[in-house]
Amino acid sequence: MTITDPYAAAARETTEGRVYTVTGGDWDTITPGDEEERLVINMGPQHPSTHGVLRLVLELEGETVTQARTVIGYLHTGIEKNLEYRNWTQGVTFVTRMDYLSNAFNETVYCLGVEKLLGIEVPERATTIRVLMMELQRIASHLVWLATGGMELGALTAMTNGFRERELVLDVLETITGQRMNPAYIRPGGVAQDLPPGAVEKILDLLEVMRDRLPTYDDLLTGSPIWQRRLQGVAHLDLQGCLALGVTGPILRSAGLAWDMRKTEPYCGYENYEFDVPTETTADAWGRYRVRMAEMWESLKIIDQALDKLEPGPVMVQDRKIGWPAQLALGPDGLGNSLDHVKKIMGTSMEALIHHFKLVTEGFRVPAGQVYVAIENPRGELGAHVVSDGGTRPYRVHVRDPGFVNLQSASAMCEGSLIADAIAAVASIDPVMGGVDR
């Protein structure tokens, strides 16, 4: 038996002409050189510079990209389908894993959708904690963008520094939620538990550190001629292109439009916070860098104000038919239901026990209907189209991930540029494949 390696084939005839499949070597030794040549490069999905399991198919003429296509789906996990087989509260643990760099946003947008269908108001403190979580997450996400984007462009110090500071943010998130990532902390009706003792102090410490560290990125990168030349005038996409391609977030704002849903369609009480929407007019990778750097400062401002707004109060709706009955406490085997709560429902209140049991096994019912809610995540408009048939499980949830939509602009940004600038273009889009593929 002979084993044939398809990649070893030297040449084959196709309707497009003769195709040579090569994995390396000197081009001149492979083709006779007497025909019109097109070079198609397959880049990824396993490539350190494609920002995750993204595959780029690039058609080259010399070093110039003439056509670029993005191929996605390598991280498709069927989250939307899986949601339909879990109850509404369990849904949070699924959506949080979509865009894994902005968990708090996924959880919030899903919960806002469920709450809109339920017609309930979340307690003030829970909303403030959500804002707090989202803005902390925005900083962490932009830091990862800086780190990975910097790495892809050869700025390794940006990578090490970015991940270092991001870990500080994740430490705070871990203090609050118990997990660095995918915490499922924000639930329909509020949040899973109140801020633990010491959390506010940790956040304040973090703010101080970040105010100290953010200028060092400017010192390191903004003035660097290499960094400037890699970004300035690269991956240009003007406002018209952004709108046609549905691009939102920092890319849109780098083209000059101050469209930030925290300002334009405020949710979670953002209208009560004072902050600016940074914009640039260069419409290139440089502008996106500047916008994201400035946004981290604005997030610090919002966190500061959110801490001031934190008034004591409940963090979950008081309706016992909806509010998840968990009274979490840290035990010797980790975070779980508090023993006092278990003692109470087991020993003194049969009704509470029944409620607890029913809510956990069966879940609450959500009135039938459909809603679309959208919030501003670090990459743009994160939307959730939530459909209920009146049952205990989501009938259909579709998440409009900004990474998925924004990735369409890669072709427009790359075509006509050098292949090295294609890397900068994809980095400036900042797609997170978990969200793109869902």
- Binding to other proteins, residues 238-267 (CB under 8 A): 243-248, 257, 259, 264-265
User: Binders of other proteins: how many residues, by CB under 8 A?
Assistant: 63
**Residue 15 — φ and ψ, nearest 5°?**
-65, -20
> Which stretch in 271-279, 333-341, 386-394, 426-434 sits in contact with other proteins by CB under 8 A?
386-394
Interacting residue with other proteins among 209, 229, 358, 416 (CB under 8 A):
358
**Cβ-based neighbour number of residue 85 at 10 Å:** 10
In this chain, which of 125, 142, 230, 438 binds other proteins, going by CB under 8 A? 438
CA distance 197 to 194: 9
**Of the two residues 64 and 82, which places its CB atom closer to other proteins in the complex?**
82
Regarding 57 and contact with other proteins (CB under 8 A), the answer is no
Radius of gyration of the CA atoms of the chain, in A: 24
Task: Please report, in angstroms and rounded to a whole number, the separation of the first and last CA atoms in the chain.
Answer: 41
Q: Is the peptide bond before 45 cis (omega within 30 degrees of 0)?
A: yes
Candidates 9, 11, 156, 354; binder of other proteins (CB under 8 A) is 354
CA distances from 241 to 57, 248, 342, 422 (A): 21, 11, 57, 17
Which two three-digit tokens encode residue 401?
């991930």
Q: What SS3 class is residue 381?
A: strand
Q: Which of 405, 423, 429, 433 is close enough to bind other proteins by CB under 8 A? A: 405
Quick check: 304 binds other proteins (CB under 8 A)?
Answer: no
Whichever of 287 and 363 has its CB closer to other proteins, that residue is 363
Q: Which is nearer to other proteins, 120 or 214 (CB)?
A: 120
What's the CA gap between 418 and 234, in Å, rounded?
Answer: 9
- Does residue 40 interact with other proteins by CB under 8 A? no
| Contact between residue 48 and residue 56 where contact means Cβ atoms under 8 Å apart | no
Q: Which of residues 199-218 bind other proteins (CB under 8 A)?
A: none
* Residues 137-166 as x/- pattern, contact with other proteins by CB under 8 A: ------------------------------
Q: How far apart are CA 329 and CA 331, in angstroms?
A: 6
Distances in whole angstroms, Cα of residue 353 to Cα of each of 27, 331, 360: 73, 21, 11
Instruction: Report the candidate in 36, 42, 39 with the shortest Cα–Cα distance to residue 20.
Output: 39
- Can residue 432 be called a binding residue for other proteins (CB under 8 A)? no
Question: Among residues 169 and 399, whose Cβ is nearest to other proteins?
Answer: 399
Q: Is 297 in the site for other proteins (CB under 8 A)?
A: no
Residue 94 lies near other proteins (rule: CB under 8 A): no
Distance CA 300, CA 210 (A): 8
Which of 387, 427, 429, 432 touches other proteins (CB under 8 A)?
Answer: 387
- Among 289, 284, 277, residue whose Cα is nearest residue 218: 289
Counting contacts by CB under 8 A, is residue 198 touching other proteins? no
Beta bridge partners of 404: none
CB atoms within 10 A of CB 145: 25
Considering only 11, 85, 330, 331, the residue that binds other proteins (CB under 8 A) is: 85
Name which of residues 102 to 121 contact other proteins (CB under 8 A): 116-119
Tokens of 316: 């979950």
Q: Does 433 bind other proteins (CB under 8 A)?
A: no
Chain contacts with other proteins (rule: CB under 8 A): 72-73, 76, 78, 80-82, 84-87, 116-119, 243-248, 257, 259, 264-265, 321-322, 351, 354-355, 358, 361-372, 374, 381, 383, 385, 387, 389-393, 395-396, 398, 400, 404-405, 407-408, 437-438
